[in-house]
Chains A and B, each alone.
Chain A
């Protein structure tokens, strides 16, 4: 039963995550935090921070880690398989058909229509993270870290891994 749940928790985001790996982040959160309650919002954000500062595809890192956390090595295997296999199998089997329609407006609309859903889910998730932070360390710390990390990553193009490392040091020294 557990492995079936792990399978479902990553199969659904894998098959619905239009827009590559990042699109499946909020869908994974929906399954893992809200439906199965395997992790708290805080655990999930910790995991996401670490996943973001490591290289490689994000969806499989989440699937591998959460699967492992819930069901050991077999759990990790099931999670990764569920995340990767369905769309890969579709791609290899249906290549001819897909090729024919890849520029049709119907197929393009598929990705189009899913974008607002992903945006809403991501937005709400961001909001929950800020709220969690507000409850934990208060308004000023939350604002300070948010604004400075935004400036560093988005404006000064510092690599996220460095910014996360800096945040870890700051938190260890001043927020402990």
Chain B
């Protein structure tokens, strides 16, 4: 019971203080999980983060769920995920439904009108961050060409983004590798993975 309470409090704090969306809560998760409750060490946390980043979907809940699962099984996972997301979702629903009941007043409409460009600006900044990471990762030429083709597919041919992403994922997996560095790191990782499997097996049995 004690563990469940700790899990709940840790992830409740993370959820309520994590401004800036999921990624904004990563340092907070580190603080609670590694420094305060010592559920993981630094190295494990780094590995977990790298792993979570290669998977799709929201990062905060992936981390919460996995750590909760590690600490106290299935219910630990449920507990940690709920503690992360429920408080902010409740706030959101309360605020937005009360806002929409006074939606017709002119000053409320003025308020929402002023917020749209702010959000537009934040999205534009986010756009730039994704482009910049893409440019640094695979070169600006490739990023540029890909962007133009993707834009044409999405907005002139009206292809669903899911299909575009799906095809790109398949290409990424099927394309052949040229680097030899990969083999070396893979061996090391294999060892680590085995260790991890063993420790996990011990916990779940």
Contact = CB atoms under 8 A, between A and B. Distances in A.
Given A92-B65, A111-B54, A117-B161, A54 B77 contact: no
A119 to B, nearest CB: 4
A176 B107 contact: yes
Interface in B105-161: 105-127, 130-131, 133-134, 137-138, 143, 146-147, 150-151, 154-155, 160-161
B185 interface: yes
A59 B89 CA distance: 10
B58 A59 contact: yes
Classify chain A: how many residues form its interface, as a range: 35 or more
Nearest to B196: A99
Q: Is the interface of B mostly helix, strand, loop or mixed?
A: helix
Nearest to A47: B96
Contact of A100 (B88, B91, B172, B190): B190
Contact of B117 (A96, A98, A130): A130
Contacts of B173: 106, 109-110
B41 interface: no
Interface of B: 15-23, 25, 47, 50-62, 65-66, 69, 77, 81, 84-85, 87-89, 91-93, 95-96, 99, 105-127, 130-131, 133-134, 137-138, 143, 146-147, 150-151, 154-155, 160-162, 164-166, 168-169, 171-173, 175, 177, 179, 182, 185-186, 189-190, 192-193, 196-197, 200
Which 5 residue pairs spanning A and B have beta carbons closest together?
A: A171-B114, A87-B57, A176-B110, A56-B88, A64-B89
